[in-house]
Amino acid sequence: MALPLPKGQPFTISHRLLASDYEMPSMEVASDHYSIGFIIRGDRKVITPTMTYTLHAGYLNAIPPYLYHRTIPASNEQYESYLLKFSPEFVEDFVTEVGSQYLDQIFNSLPKHFSEEDKGEIFYLAEMLLQAYRRYEEADNDEGKQYALLRIRHMLCSLLMEVHDKGQADNSLSTLHNAELSKPIMDAVYYMEKNYRNDLKIEDIATVSGYSVSYFSRLFAAQLGTPFSEYLCLTRLKHVQNLLLTTNQSIMDISLECGFSYPGNMAASFKKEFGMTPLQFRKQNQKGREGK
């Protein structure tokens, strides 16, 4: 269970600077709040029952109440973010005015990123919210706290509108699941994400799930829509993509770091999955970034 909002508070925000290897120790679900993480630095892998996706600096991770999720590192870079939580009641008037689908579009879709200009504005609003929240905490009477909360509510609604209007959904590093994952299969996916560099065998993962190999194999394929070996290969290829975009490591070094015994096998699998070689992928995306 995720930590609830402090008693009597409908909103919190914090600026977090965490070690690169920080991870949630277990699956969590919030029962009383929405949460939004604005990533300033670092790369994160998020596992939910319906999809697994990667987040980078400038991305937003929006988690609604009652969604099981777990985040783990996706690189060795230090993790920095704004983490914002608010109760449904705190934005009730806002939702009444704009419609419930407005909030649904923020929280029930693929992870979002922003243009450089919009990212600066979004992060500026998050920092202003953080300062307003600190004034709320420092207020020494009810009147002062209520006035601070009023300011926070207006600022939060402005931030949500900016996120809704300017966020760009990104499915390039997302894997949709064939069916909603059960907890044992989510635990198996988590184990694979943590240990993809190693020589993993289906027997190892079946043990984590608590099932026999044959039953686990059938359940895994049914829920994820692909056999274990193919999903493991795709998991490794997603990490190859990330290193191609974020480092200058050689193709051989990336291949070995991501769990492929032979660079040639990785390159062949990469081309089959993404329609281009790893080097073509790196060059194409470098040109795209230079043109921004």
Q: Own/partner pairs for 260-264, CB < 8 Å, 24+ apart?
A: 260/236
Q: Could you read off the pLDDT of 219-266 as tens digits, one per residue?
A: 999 998 889 999 999 889 988 988 898 889 999 999 999 999 888 999
Report pLDDT digits (tens) over 21-34.
Answer: 888 877 788 888 99
Assigned token pair, 142: 């009810």
Sheet of strand 51-55, all strands in order from the earlier edge strand to the far edge: 70-73, 44-47, 51-55, 174-176
Amino acid code (one letter) for 209: S
Q: What is the pTM of this model?
A: 0.76
Q: How many CB atoms lie within 10 A of CB 203?
A: 10
pLDDT for the residue 74:
87
| Residues with Cβ within 8 Å of residue 191, at least 6 apart in sequence | 204, 205, 208
Max CA pair span of the chain: 67
Nearest C-alpha neighbor of 155 from the set 181, 179, 136? 136
Token pair, residue 83, equals 């983490």
Pick left, alpha or beta for residue 99 (phi over 0 → left; psi -120 to 50 → alpha; otherwise beta): left
58, 39 in Cβ contact below 8 A? Answer: yes
Per the DSSP assignment, residues forming a β-bridge with 244 are: none
The encoded tokens of residue 32 equal 């009383």
| Domains in the chain: ranges and CATH | 11-169 (2.60.120.280), 177-290 (1.10.10.60)
First to last CA, the chain: 41
CA dist list (Å): 8 to 12, 147, 151, 175, 192? 11, 15, 17, 38, 40
Tell me the pLDDT of the chain (292 aa) as tens digits.
567 788 889 999 999 999 988 888 777 888 889 999 999 999 999 999 888 888 999 999 999 998 888 898 988 889 999 999 999 999 999 999 999 899 999 998 778 889 989 999 999 999 999 999 999 999 999 999 999 999 999 999 999 999 999 998 877 768 888 888 898 998 898 898 889 999 999 999 999 888 999 999 999 999 988 899 999 998 899 889 888 988 899 999 999 999 998 889 999 999 998 889 999 999 887 654 444 4
